Amino acid sequence: MAAQFGVPQKAVALEELRAVKPESVKSDELVELYGAEWVSDLCAKYSEFAEKAREMLLAGEIGKDQKQVFDFDQRDDGRFKEYLLAFHETGRMSRVIKEAISYTMLNKLKSAKDRKKLEDVAFTLIKIEEPIPRNVPEPENPDEPPLPGGEEGGEETELADLMRELDDLHLPEGHTELLGGAEADLAPELSRLMEQESSRLKAFFGRDIEVPPLPEGITKEQLEYWYEMGYKLEYWPKLIMQEDAEYPGWQHKPGKRHTPGGSSGIEFYDVLAQIQNLPKNKSNPNLQDLAPNELPGTWLLRDTRPKPNYDDGNQQYENDSIMRATLEELARTGILNTEAKSGLRNNIHPQVFAKPEFWQAMAKMLNLPPGAIVRLPRAIEANVMGQGKGYHDTDTYEWNEECYESGVRLISGYSGYGGASYVGWDDYPDGGIGFRPLVIFP
C-alpha cells in the first residue's frame, strides 16, 4: 500500500505483484506534504485492517446473508488511495480516513450490524496521529488584519470565505469550483474543473479540446448528492467519430469488424444511415441534430459505477440502493414490466424506456435542475465512455438510446463479443441486459 504513494520499499519479486489501476493524480504531493513516515504508518495500519476485513468476509463474520457475491481486493486499496488524494485536508485527515473506509469498504455491506462490526475493527486498527504539514509557506504579512467586505480587497475576502465554506463539504477536487460559480475570471481556482477536463480530453484525443463554461443552475446539495451516488460531471465535444480516426484513448472502436474475429454484432459504421433515418429515431427529441457516430458537445453527468458480471440475472450494480428503490416503486405502480419487479437494472423491457414516467422518476431520483435531460447513452457515447475497466471487460450488456428496427433497441458492452466494440440489438427483457442513465445539460 505504501508503495502506491511513492514511499521507498524493499525489493519484491515481480511475480508476487498484481497489477494496480494507473494513477490519475500524483501521489508524491501527499508524501511531500505529510512525510513518508506518516504515509508509511497509515499504509501499514490500513493493510492490517484490509487483511482483517478479508478474513472476516471469508469466515462469514460479515456479509454472510448478502445474495450478491463481493470481496475486498486490491481495487479497494486503490480506491482508498484515490479518495485520500482527492480529499486530503490538513487538520482533518483522521476524518478523511474514516470517510475513505466508509466509501471503499463499509458501503459494500447492506447490514447495518455488519457495517458497525467492520467499522469498529477499522477504527481500532487504524489509529494514527493527525499529520503536521511540512514546508507550508508563511503568509507574507502575518500581522496585517484582513480587509473587511466593502473596502478595497473585500471581494477577495468574500471569495476566500466562500471557498472555505465549500471546502467543508469535502467534495471531489474540481467540484468546489463549480459551487463557487461559473465565472472563471473570479479566481484561478474556479476554472480548475474545466482545466481537469481539458487535460482528460487531451489525453483521450491527443490534442487540445476547448471546454466551455460549466452548466448553470447546479446547487451544492446536488453535487454532493451526485457524488455520493457515483455520478461524475464530464464534458464531451461535438465531434464526429470517424472510423478511421486515431485517438490515444479510443482503442476499441464500435462495430463488428472491431470485435474479436470480426464476427459479433452489427457493422455499426455501415448502418449509420439506417439508424439515423429510422422513423422511431427521427422522432426521438434526444437524437435530434446528432449523427449516430457524433459526440454530444455538452456537459453531462454520467454513472461511473462498473457494469457487473452476469450472475444468472441476479447481478447488481455497486452501491445502487437508491436506484433499486426507484425501480421497485416503478414496478409497484405498473411502469415496469413484471419481469423487472425485483428492482434490479436488468430484465427491463426495452419499451419501458419510451415511457415518460420512467424518465420522470429518474430525474426525480437524481434531483436534476431545470432543463437537464436524462436518457440512455447513445451507442457511440457508450462506446467512448466505456473504453476501460468496468465496462469493456464485463460480460453483461446495456441498453442504448437508439432503436435499430421497429421495436428493436441497440445494446452494447458484452465482453465476450468485444466489450466496448460490440453493438447489437434486442427486443425483449433479458437478465443479462442492464441500463445506466445519462444526464445531458443544456
What the block records as the C-alpha cell of 72 is 475486498
* Model pLDDT for residues 11-64, shown as the tens digit of each residue: 434 333 333 333 344 677 778 888 888 888 888 888 889 888 888 888 888 988
Nearest CA among 378, 373, 383 for reference residue 275: 378
Nearest CA among 18, 103, 15 for reference residue 3: 18
d(CA 287, CA 290): 6
Residue 421: strand, helix, or coil: helix
Q: Is the confidence at residue 9, as pLDDT, over 90?
A: no
* 36-58 vs 74-87: helix crossing angle, rounded to 10: 140
* Model pLDDT for residues 206-221, shown as the tens digit of each residue: 999 999 888 877 777 7
Q: Is the confidence at residue 7, as pLDDT, over 60?
A: no
The pLDDT, as a whole number, for residue 157 is: 52
The pLDDT, as a whole number, for residue 151 is: 42
The pLDDT, as a whole number, for residue 24 is: 40
First to last CA, the chain: 42
The pLDDT, as a whole number, for residue 136 is: 52
Average pLDDT over residues 261-278: 96
Nearest CA among 265, 263, 314, 293 for reference residue 414: 265
The pLDDT, as a whole number, for residue 307 is: 95
The pLDDT, as a whole number, for residue 227 is: 86
Rounded to 5°, the CA angle 336-337-341 comes to 75
At 283, the pLDDT band (50, 70, 90 cuts) reads: very high
Q: Could you give the percent of the chain with pLDDT greater than 90?
A: 48
What the block records as the C-alpha cell of 272 is 449509420
The pLDDT, as a whole number, for residue 206 is: 95
Mean pLDDT score of the chain, rounded to an integer? 82
Q: Which residue has the higher pLDDT, 156 or 256?
A: 256
Most confident of 1-15, 52-66, 141-155: 52-66
The residue ranges of DSSP E strands in 347-407, in sequence order, are: 373-375, 397-405
CB 285 within 8 A of CB 370: no
Q: Which residues have CB under 8 Å from 150's CB, separation 6+?
A: none
DSSP 8-state assignment for residue 167: H
What phi, psi does 170 have (nearest 5°)? 60, 50
Q: Which of 5-9, 29-33, 89-93, 327-331 has the lowest mean pLDDT?
A: 5-9
d(CA 240, CA 233): 21
Q: Is the confidence at residue 167, as pLDDT, over 80?
A: no
Rounded to 5°, the CA angle 227-33-191 comes to 45
Helix ranges (DSSP H) in 8-111: 28-34, 36-58, 74-87, 93-104
Q: Which residue has the higher pLDDT, 38 or 238?
A: 238
Nearest CA among 158, 3, 162, 170 for reference residue 98: 170
Alpha-carbon distances of 267 from 259, 275, 277, 294, 400, rounded to whole Å: 10, 11, 16, 16, 16
* Model pLDDT for residues 359-413, shown as the tens digit of each residue: 999 999 999 988 999 999 999 999 999 998 889 999 999 999 999 988 899 999 9
* Model pLDDT for residues 91-128, shown as the tens digit of each residue: 888 888 988 888 788 888 878 788 888 988 888 888 88
The pLDDT, as a whole number, for residue 74 is: 75
